Structure 1
Amino acid sequence: MIDVRYSASPSSVETATSAELRDNFLVPGLFRPGQVHGVYTHDDRLVIGGAVPAEGQLELPAWDVIGTDTHLERRELGVINVGGAGHVLVDGEKFELHHLDGLFVGRGCEVAFEGADAAFYFVSAPAHATYPTTHLSHPEVEPVALGTPSGANERSLYRYAWGQELETSVLQFGVTVIADGSVWNTFPPHLHDRRTEVYLYVDLDEDDRVFHFMGQPGATRHLVMRNREAVISPPWSIHSGAGTGSYAFIWAMGGENNAYTDLSPVALEDL
């Protein structure tokens, strides 16, 4: 099953109801046992999805909206396991993924998911070239330390695919883990004028929430989000949030280029 999301203008967001904001930008319900569920957004034509194999095997679908015989015929893929141990089959080769381990899969491959306790999050983007499939072990990625305890935004940034070391066409993705006692992510906020970014919030307790801020800098809005819910941030929208407890988030981007530092900082006085 796949849902389709259309692009929205900044002015429509300023006057949207909370329900309209959630319908356009919030992505709940990706992780359903025994199913693959996806969302196709016309913002940079990203596909985001969740695969929960349970006791069986699930194949990466070639949904009609993509218009190809296989999902990766003209796309590349990033996968991160947000559940227990499992594995991904790429053209029959098995890649074991533990919690928060990642996998980049190049254009043209066939992909299937297995693992009774696993929950796989994936993002695909159009690709102009083919690059090798690469396993990305979370413990082996050197994190970048960001923020401060006094600013309540101390966090560790794990860059899996970011335009260096691992070559991709346009896809970038990774994980940011918020330190205990901190609440803010991506703060101060910024814009990606040439790229769409998607966040998936993970590892929240059942009763915790993240207040995710979006919109143009001078007209921000917010969404209240649960564990394993995603949010689409168009190029004109900031992305920042604060949680009520410990959490992490998976970030993924696609667009005009894959230079990680291609961003526009937003000053707090402009919010």
Structure 2
Amino acid sequence: MEVRHTTNPTDIKQYDTARLRKEFLVQHLFVPNQINMVYTHYDRLVIGGAFPAGETLTLEDKDTLKTEYFLERREVGLLHIGGGEAVITVDGEVYELSKLEVLYVGKGKQNVQIASKNNDNPAKIYLVSALAHAEYPTRKMTEQEANPTHLGSLETSNERVLNKYIHEGGIQSCQLMLGVTSLKPGSIWNTMPTHVHDRRMEAYLYFDLNDDARVFHMMGEPSETRHLVVANEEAIISPPWSIHSGAGTSNYTFCWAMAGENYTFADQDFIPMKDVK
């Protein structure tokens, strides 16, 4: 597991493109028969990718976490982003996931294994883990159960479908919140007008992009923005003080996940467009 420490907005004024990408862009998450993870000191969130292409993968990293098992003091959300069905076994209980289905596994579960149902069509599983103080039950949610919400319009280039999976009105957790937004063909913008929420960090995974498509992810303080060019199945670590918006060369889908102090969507501080620079 890679470990990344925090930065502050004053420091990043000095960063060039290479340094910005090193600190905030996460690449190569989905490598056959590996679970690749990044531990960020922003609210101690872990993001990772599992790509079981013939082998069963176990969620663990004792050397980094210094615990007996991964979920000893953590919870995790697992999102199926592509390929055939995944088979996830949690302390002997088997769950099958198809694309855009989510499995939440709470604190205290000792053995989480990830496999593909058909090795000729392996599944890709994106995982996000946050610290947890209490145990919540394991729960699966389908895309339909996430109550898809249609937002935006083609005229403003942001017609999209929003699915909320792990939150106070859906799958219960300690602090982890997770959902998926899919942009319609012809739409390119996400989260604009933009916002910040200094009480919790956020991570984005962009997927369902063609190989030659890119998303220009906007970050930084509202008065001094930066951008990162993001390819398919790459993730962004977004600090609490940073905006997080994007515009693509085509439509795309992204998973957003948050951890921190507040367990609500109502603590956003919206930024007027006139103040974004």
> 1:268 aligned to 252, 264, 273, which one?
273
Q: Match for residue 140 of structure 2?
A: 135
User: Which string of whole-angstrom CA distances, capped at 9 and with x for unpartnered residues, describes residues 130-173 of structure 1?
Assistant: 00111011133211222221111111110001222322100000
Q: Match for residue 114 of structure 2?
A: 113
The normalised TM-score by structure 2 is: 0.95
Q: Match for residue 101 of structure 1?
A: 101
Q: Which amino acid aligns with 2:262?
A: N
Q: Match for residue 151 of structure 1?
A: 156
Q: Match for residue 185 of structure 1?
A: 190
Q: Is the 8 A contact 1:32 1:51 kept in 2?
A: yes
1:231/1:63 CA distance change after superposition, 3 Å:
farther
Alignment of 1:12-27 (within 5 A): 12-27=11-26
The normalised TM-score by structure 1 is: 0.97
Is residue 175 of structure 2 the alignment partner of residue 170 of structure 1?
Answer: yes
Q: Is the 8 A contact 2:146 2:170 kept in 1?
A: no
Q: Which amino acid aligns with 1:60?
A: L
After TM superposition, where is structure 1 displaced by more than 6 Å over at least 4 residues in a row? none
> 1:203 aligned to 205, 208, 229, which one?
208
DSSP-derived class of the 2:274 partner: helix
Aligned residues: 270
User: Which string of whole-angstrom CA distances, capped at 9 and with x for unpartnered residues, describes residues 23-62 of structure 1?
Assistant: 0000000100011110000000000001111111000013
Alignment of 1:52-71 (within 5 A): 52-71=51-70
Q: Match for residue 45 of structure 2?
A: 46
Q: Match for residue 81 of structure 1?
A: 80
Q: Is the 8 A contact 1:163 1:260 kept in 2?
A: no
Q: Which amino acid aligns with 1:93?
A: E
Q: Is the 8 A contact 1:195 1:254 kept in 2?
A: yes
> Structure 2: where are the runs of 5+ without partners?
none
DSSP-derived class of the 1:4 partner: strand
**Alignment partners' CA distance in 1, 2:266 and 2:65:** 29
**Alignment partners' CA distance in 1, 2:45 and 2:123:** 23
**Alignment partners' CA distance in 2, 1:224 and 1:207:** 12
DSSP-derived class of the 1:165 partner: coil
Is residue 123 of structure 2 the alignment partner of residue 123 of structure 1?
Answer: no
Q: Which amino acid aligns with 1:112?
A: Q
CA RMSD of aligned residues (A): 1.0
**Alignment partners' CA distance in 1, 2:216 and 2:250:** 11
DSSP-derived class of the 1:82 partner: strand
Q: Is the 8 A contact 1:14 1:221 kept in 2?
A: no
Q: Match for residue 72 of structure 1?
A: 71
Q: Is the 8 A contact 1:125 1:171 kept in 2?
A: yes
Q: Match for residue 236 of structure 2?
A: 231
Calculate percent identity across the aligned residue pairs. Answer: 49
DSSP-derived class of the 1:124 partner: strand
**Alignment partners' CA distance in 2, 1:257 and 1:130:** 18
